[in-house]
């Protein structure tokens, strides 16, 4: 029972959510005459982790139906009913957070019942929720579309064509703005995925629009005409333009300066999304490594200062962002990252916190050339996460090399190579980066072990010419040390 769908959901309920769920389960409107409360009260005893030898179907059934033989069909039906009610509770909880959606649905019901006095009153009071100030998320424009569309129905059915047309204009503006923002975001994401994971799928319809519309002219005209829509589309456009021009570093700085100077225009969700795109541009555009790290720290510092480390207060900081902060850290920034990890580690999902803490300790030891420290902390990292498994294997290889553990290094390269060749879940570009590293590493290891460095210059050329390779600078540093 511990692995049932119901228990998976109940594990995640806070105390407040559990109380709300119990009230819903106890409501005749929702439970349709079935009494689930006795079962729910027994399950509550196993909170919060729901791990106990007595948490079995048979034992729980015996507590509810005392003296009766176990009936699997009855019990499974009860569990299924509670799952359905949990889903209803979560839907209601999500719905209650979206006031704009609720208003549109209520307006529709009032219109269908010809309650236009109430309809008009609600419509007027709802207008304040659709102003462009302080909220220009893509989702917001689709909410405007739904609202103005519903108003259009209401005006049209009463032959109020003047107001019908006004709503139509607002709806069309929202359609166009939402489409533009979606297009810019889609192409940025496609570019990021291609650079980082080698994913080349494209939205063909978006690309057809891109062929025939001159977005640069459009944005310039909006700015020239002092359009209120310029501030809305400017940053998404600049990010899009920068992602489409990999050789133009000035576009990156334009994006950064515009975002840092106008961040108050955007919601936290938007800012986080924009900053992640900006980080991706920084990683792909800025050279050399020390300059890239310095620039990345400006982005992370901004996120740190403004507390923009997730899409919302309810969500955890993404693991990849935390990992990027760690790996972008160079010696001059160790103290800053120490403070960052100490303060923001609790914002990660609980099951990931220890791994990220030890990943930082590993990288810090690597920077300080404490390779025994690297080995000490590496084995504490949970390698069930794919990208952490790759990181761990790389750090083991580096530590073995530096400490002269040649046999361990050879064994690790063989198992790492087989793992990469046999694992179809890893993006091709990432596999290529690591395989190229392993090929170079094996030759480097042999040179260090035998003392024969006659092929070092040729190996250096291969490192520099490799299009995709991980830890390039470390490999070049080791060539110099031979």
pLDDT band (50, 70, 90) for residue 197: low
Looking at the structure of the chain, the number of domains it has is 3
The answer to whether position 320 is within a domain reads no
The answer, yes or no, to whether residue 441 has pLDDT greater than 90, is yes
Answer yes or no: do 33 and 105 share one domain: no
Structure tokens at 7: 């228990």
Q: Cβ contacts of residue 343 below 8 Å, gap of 6+?
A: 304
Asked if the structure places residue 215 within a domain, the reply is: no
In this predicted model, what pLDDT tens digit does every residue of 383-432 receive, in sequence order?
Answer: 887 789 999 999 999 999 999 999 999 999 999 999 999 988 888 888 99
The CA-based dihedral angle spanning residues 194, 196, 199, 200, taken in that order and rounded to the nearest 10 degrees:
10
pLDDT digits (tens, 9 = 90+) for 248-274: 899 999 999 999 999 988 888 889 999
Judge whether 336 lies within some domain: no
> Does residue 174 contact residue 145 with C-beta atoms inside 8 Å?
yes
Average confidence (pLDDT) over 52-65 = 93
Helices (H), 307-382: 319-328, 334-344, 353-367, 371-378
Would you give the end-to-end CA distance of the chain in angstroms? 59
Report the share of the chain in percent with pLDDT over 70. 99
Q: By percentage, how much of the chain surpasses pLDDT 90?
A: 79
**Residue 71, in any domain of the structure:** yes
Residue that finishes a domain, picked among 82, 97, 112:
97
Same domain, 27 and 113: no
Q: Which of 81, 97, 113 is the last residue of a domain?
A: 97
422 in a structural domain: yes
Residues 410 and 455 in one domain: yes
The answer to the question of residue 377 being in a domain is: no
Within this chain, do residues 474 and 396 fall inside the same structural domain, yes or no? yes
Q: Which of 114, 1, 103 is nearest to 50 (CA)?
A: 1
DSSP E strands, 170-216: none
Does one domain contain both 68 and 91? yes
Same domain for 105 and 93: no
Domain boundary among 116, 143, 178: 178
Same domain, 53 and 129: no
Backbone conformation region of residue 199, classed left if phi is above 0, alpha if psi is from -120 to 50, else beta: beta
Over the stretch 113-156, which tens digit does the pLDDT of each residue have?
A: 999 999 999 999 999 888 876 667 899 999 999 999 999 999 99
pTM above 0.85, yes or no: no
Residues 103, 129 contacting (CB under 8 angstroms): yes
Whether the CB-CB separation of 177 and 232 falls below 8 Å is answered with yes
- pLDDT tier, 311 (very low <50, low <70, confident <90, very high otherwise): very high
* CA distances from residue 462 to 63, 446, 465, 478 in whole angstroms, order as listed: 70, 16, 5, 14
DSSP state, 404? T
User: Two tokens at 318?
Assistant: 């993404």
Model confidence over 264-305: pLDDT tens digits?
A: 888 888 899 999 999 999 988 898 889 999 999 999 999 999
User: Quick one: 89 and 112 in the same domain?
Assistant: no
Work out the angle at residue 146's Cα, subtended by the Cα atoms of residues 179 and 129, and round it to the nearest 5 degrees.
Answer: 100
Same domain (yes/no): 434, 444: yes
Residue 481 lies in a domain: yes
Assigned token pair, 409: 């290094």
Task: Look at residues 82, 72, 95 and name the one whose alpha carbon lies nearest to residue 25.
Answer: 82
Based on the fold, state whether residues 482 and 399 are members of the same structural domain.
Answer: yes
Using one digit for the tens of pLDDT, what is the confidence trace for 355-371? 999 999 999 999 999 99
Q: What rounded mean pLDDT belongs to the chain? A: 92
In a domain, 362, yes or no: no
Could you tell me if 387 and 415 lie in one domain? yes
The token duo for 374 is 């690297």
Are 77 and 116 in a shared domain? no
DSSP letters for 38-85: HHHHHHHTTTTT---TT-SHHHHHHHHSTTSPP-HHHHHHHHHHHHHH
How far apart CA 171 and CA 162 sit, in angstroms, is 14
Domain span at residue 122?
99-178
List C-alpha distances in Å: 1 to 230, 266, 446.
55, 45, 54
The closest alpha carbon to 206, from 233, 232, 187, belongs to 187
User: In whole angstroms, what is the distance from residue 361 CA to residue 377 CA?
Assistant: 7
């Amino acid at each position: 029972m511990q692995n049932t769908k119901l228990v998976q959901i109940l594990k995640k309920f806070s105390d407040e959510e559990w109380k709300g769920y119990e009230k819903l389960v106890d409501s005749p409107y929702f439970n349709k005459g079935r009494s689930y409360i006795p079962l729910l009260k027994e399950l509550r005893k196993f909170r919060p982790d729901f791990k106990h030898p007595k948490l079995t179907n048979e034992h729980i059934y015996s507590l509810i139906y005392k003296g009766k033989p176990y009936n699997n069909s009855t019990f499974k039906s009860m569990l299924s009913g509670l799952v359905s009610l949990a889903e209803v509770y979560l839907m209601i909880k999500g719905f209650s957070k979206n006031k704009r959606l609720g208003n549109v649905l209520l307006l529709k019901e009032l219109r269908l019942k010809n309650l236009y006095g109430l309809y008009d009153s609600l419509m007027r009071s709802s207008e304040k929720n659709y102003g462009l100030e302080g909220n220009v998320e893509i989702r917001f424009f689709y909410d405007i579309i739904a609202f103005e569309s519903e108003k259009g129905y209401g005006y049209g059915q009463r032959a109020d064509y003047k107001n019908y047309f006004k709503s139509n204009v607002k709806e069309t503006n929202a359609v166009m703005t939402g489409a533009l923002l979606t297009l810019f975001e889609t192409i940025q994401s496609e570019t990021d995925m291609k650079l980082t994971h080698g994913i080349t799928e494209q939205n063909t319809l978006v690309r057809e629009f891109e062929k025939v519309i001159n977005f640069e002219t459009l944005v310039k005209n909006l700015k020239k005409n002092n359009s209120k829509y310029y501030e809305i589309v400017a940053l998404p456009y600049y990010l899009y333009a920068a992602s489409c021009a990999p050789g133009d570093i000035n576009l990156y700085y334009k994006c950064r300066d515009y975002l840092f100077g106008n961040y108050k225009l955007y919601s936290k969700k938007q800012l986080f999304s924009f900053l992640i795109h900006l980080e991706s541009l920084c990683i792909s555009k800025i050279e050399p490594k020390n300059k890239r790290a310095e620039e990345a720290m400006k982005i992370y510092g901004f996120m740190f200062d403004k507390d923009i480390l997730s899409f919302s207060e309810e969500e955890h900081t993404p693991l990849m962002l935390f990992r990027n902060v760690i790996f972008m850290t160079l010696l001059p920034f160790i103290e800053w990252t120490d403070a960052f990890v100490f303060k923001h580690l609790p914002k990660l999902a609980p099951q990931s916190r220890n791994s990220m803490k030890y990943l930082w300790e590993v990288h810090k030891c690597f920077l300080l050339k404490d390779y025994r420290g690297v080995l000490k902390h590496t084995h504490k990292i949970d390698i069930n996460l794919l990208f952490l498994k790759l990181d761990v294997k790389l750090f083991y290889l580096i530590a073995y090399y530096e400490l002269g553990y040649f046999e361990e290094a050879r064994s690790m390269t063989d198992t790492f190579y087989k793992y990469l060749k046999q694992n179809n879940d890893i993006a091709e570009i990432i596999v290529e980066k690591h395989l190229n590293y392993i090929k170079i590493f094996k030759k480097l290891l042999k040179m260090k072990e035998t003392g024969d460095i006659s092929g070092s210059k040729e190996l250096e050329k291969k490192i520099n010419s490799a299009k995709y390779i991980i830890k390039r600078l470390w490999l070049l540093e080791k060539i110099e040390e031979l």
